[in-house]
Amino acid sequence: MSYLEFRNVQASYGTNPILLGVDLDIEKGEIVSLIGPSGSGKSTMLRVLIGLTPLSGGEIRLEGKPIDYATKAGLRAVRSRMAMVFQSFGLFDHLTVEQNLLLAPTVVGKKKRAPLLEEMHEVLRLTDMQGHDGKRPPQLSGGQKQRIAIARALMLHPEILLMDEPTSALDPIRIAAMSDLFGKLAAQGVTIIQVSHNMDVVRSLSDRIVLMHDGRIAATASPKRDQDDNAAIARFMAAEAHQA
């Protein structure tokens, strides 16, 4: 039994099928990178896992138990163990950075604000965003917003961290810093599933690379072991790196 199991997972947008039966096992503390062409179903994998897109078939198991997406209680339970960093960040423009970061811990987690402030400053330090807590998202650059989105996810202490293009707006120095941070989180047992087109990040960070194509898994590889042995993944990564 794996920590997280996708079993024949299917999903569609309206009548348009996106995932056509995905089987994938992920272990606790593993960093899995989903790669593949646009429309291959990478982001949908994250969305079905956190319950934003409904399953049209199959099931997902967490620690051996099927996740109940059909009830509010089931959704609440699964979301309490996960956090998601959106490609478009998903920050709330009318709230300050501090309010964005403390919203879920105070409103959902019912924690006191004062003790959270220290933790928030630590998370802002980790994401190199200290001193920005009074600003609102429209006052931040794309890269800064992305780091705040990551910081907001960290404030939730997720067991599973889902990230859709988490480094797309970052410069190379910040990409390296964030990759280092993700590696440390995984070492602490946080399972990370990311969608990325940055092949350097994918290669250096991932325990496993999953290549998706037309709603199915086309190939998997462990870059630290056998990436070069998988021709399909090597070809895709080379093509992506060439485009970049």
Partner 1 sequence: MGHGLHYQRVLQALPYLLGGAGESVMLALMAFLMALVLGLGLAIARMESSSGLRPAASGFVIFFTNTPQLSQIFAMFYCLPMAGINLSPFVSVLLGMTLNASAYLSNILVAGIGQTPRIYHEAADTLGLNLRQKYMRIIVPHVLRIMYPALNNHFVIMLLGTSMASIFGVEELTGRAYYLASVTFRSFEVLSITAVLYVAMSFLASRLLMSLRRLV
Distance CA 230, CA 88 (A): 32
Distance CA 196, CA 31 (A): 12
Cβ proximity to partner 1: between 67 and 82 the closer is: 82
Q: How far is the CB of 141 from partner 1 (least distance, A)?
A: 18
Query: Should residue 113 be labelled a site residue for partner 1 when binding is judged by CB under 8 A?
Result: no
Distance CA 238, CA 214 (A): 19
**Binding segment for partner 1 among 14-22, 103-111, 208-216, 222-230 (CB under 8 A)?**
103-111
Query: Should residue 108 be labelled a site residue for partner 1 when binding is judged by CB under 8 A?
Result: yes
Nearest to 227 by CA among 217, 238, 214, 241: 238
* Size of the residue set binding partner 1 (CB under 8 A): 24
Of 194-223, binders to partner 1 (CB under 8 A) are none
Residue 206 tokens read as 């991932």
Instruction: By CB under 8 A, name the one of 90, 117, 122, 216 that touches partner 1.
Output: 90
Query: Should residue 52 be labelled a site residue for partner 1 when binding is judged by CB under 8 A?
Result: yes
Instruction: By CB under 8 A, name the one of 36, 41, 51, 223 that touches partner 1.
Output: 51
Query: Should residue 103 be labelled a site residue for partner 1 when binding is judged by CB under 8 A?
Result: yes
Distance CA 212, CA 33 (A): 10
* Three-state secondary-structure class, residue 238: helix
Query: Should residue 86 be labelled a site residue for partner 1 when binding is judged by CB under 8 A?
Result: yes
Angle of helix 142-154 relative to helix 113-126, nearest 10 degrees?
130
DSSP 139: G
Query: Should residue 83 be labelled a site residue for partner 1 when binding is judged by CB under 8 A?
Result: yes
* Contact residues for partner 1, defined by CB under 8 A: 50-52, 72, 76, 79-80, 82-84, 86, 88-94, 103-104, 107-108, 152, 156
